[in-house]
A and B are shown apart, each in its own frame.
Chain A
Amino acid sequence: MQPTSSMKEEFLKKWQMGLQIYRPLIDNTSVSERRKAIKLSADVAMASLRKGTTCWSRALIQKTATEDNFLVRQMLSGIKAETLINKKLPKVMCHRKIVRRSKKILRRRQSRSAIEEVAAKARKLVKKKTQGLRNVVPGGEFMSNDVLLIQETLDYIVSLQTQVNVMRSIVDAAEAGSERTAYYLGKLKFAIEDG
C-alpha cells in the first residue's frame, strides 16, 4: 500500500489547521519551540488520519497530549478528542524478564541437536528484532501480540510516508524563491493529486 492522494490531502489540511492554531505564538517564540510546534502538529495530523482505529495512532495522540494538551484538543475537536486522550492503553501483558528467566531454567535441562540449536538461535534473533520494532512503533510496548505488531507497523509506515511526502513538498516550496514557487506549487499539486 502506498500513501494515497486523499491521505496526503487530509494530512495537509489537518497539519495546516494545527499550524494556524500556533499562528499567534509563532512570532514570539524561539526556533526550537517553533520546530516543536511544527512537529507536534504534523504528528497529530498524521495520527488523526486513522481516527482512533489503530493502536499506534492512539498511542501517538496520547504522547502528544502530554506535551501539548491544548493543541491536541483543538486539532481533534469533533473526533471524540476526550476519549482518545483519556482512553486507557492496556497494561503490559506480562513481565518479560521473569518469563525469560523461568524459560531459561527450563531450557538448561534439555539437550539439543545442532539443527535445533540453529533454529533456536534464529528464533531468538527474530524475537530480538521484533522487540526492536516495538521500540520504534508508538504504543509498541502494549502490543504483545506479534501479528498485531506487524499490522500496526505496516500502517504506521504508510502514514509516516504520507507525512514525509507532504512536509517535504511544502518545505521545498517554501524555501524556494518566489520565482521558483510556481514550479514547486505545481509539483506539490501534482504530487498530491497523483497519489
Chain B
Amino acid sequence: MSNRRSRQSSSAPRISDDQIIDLVTKLRQILPEIGQRRRSDKVSASKVLQETCNYIRNLNREVDNLSERLAQLLESVDEDSPQAAVIRSLLM
C-alpha cells in the first residue's frame, strides 16, 4: 500500500533544472533584487523560491495596507467636500 502512495507522489514531476533556469529568468524580470552570483543551480533555486514567497507576501501586505488607507479615507472625508466628489468619481 505504501508503494502505491510513493508511486503517486513520484508521478508528479519535480522541478527540473531547465525549469529552474526558466523560472529564474522570468523572476529576474519581475524581481530586480535577485543577486547575479550563482554558486550552483540548486542553491540559487531555493533562494529564488524564497524571494518569490517574500515578494508575494509583501504584495499582499501592501494590498491590505491600501485597503486600510482607503477605508480610513472614506470614513474621515466630509460628504460635501470637493475631495469627496473626487473619491466618488474615482471609485463609484
List residues of chain A with CB under 8 Å of any chain B CB: 1-2, 16, 19-20, 23, 26, 31-32, 34-36, 38-39, 42, 93-96, 98-99, 102-103, 119, 122-123, 125-130, 132-133, 135-137, 144-147, 150, 153-154, 156-158, 160-161, 163-164, 167-168, 170-171, 173-175, 177-178, 181, 185
Contacts and interface: CB of A to CB of B under 8 A. Distances in A.
Nearest to A181: B86
B91 A42 contact: no
Interface in B54-83: 55-57, 59-60, 62-64, 66-75, 81-83
B64 A39 contact: yes
15 contacts: A2-B29, A16-B92, A19-B91, A39-B64, A99-B9, A102-B6, A103-B6, A122-B45, A129-B46, A129-B53, A158-B30, A160-B59, A167-B66, A174-B73, A175-B73
4 closest residue pairs by CB, A with B: A129-B49, A122-B42, A35-B71, A178-B82
A146 B49 contact: no
B40 interface: yes
Nearest to A163: B63
Given A19-B91, A34-B75, 17 more contacts: A19-B92, A34-B74, A93-B12, A99-B5, A102-B2, A119-B42, A122-B42, A126-B42, A129-B45, A144-B9, A144-B12, A147-B19, A150-B23, A154-B27, A160-B63, A163-B63, A170-B70
B50 interface: yes
A65 B5 CA distance: 33
A62 to B, nearest CB: 17
Contacts of A145: 12-13
Contacts of A127: 14
Nearest to A178: B82
A153 B52 contact: yes
Nearest to B20: A126
Most-contacted residue by chain B among A2, A136, A145 (CB, 10 A): A136
Contacts of B43: 122
Given A31-B71, A93-B8, A125-B42, A42 B63 contact: yes
Most-contacted residue by chain A among B8, B74, B87 (CB, 10 A): B74
Contacts of B67: 35-36, 38-39, 42, 167
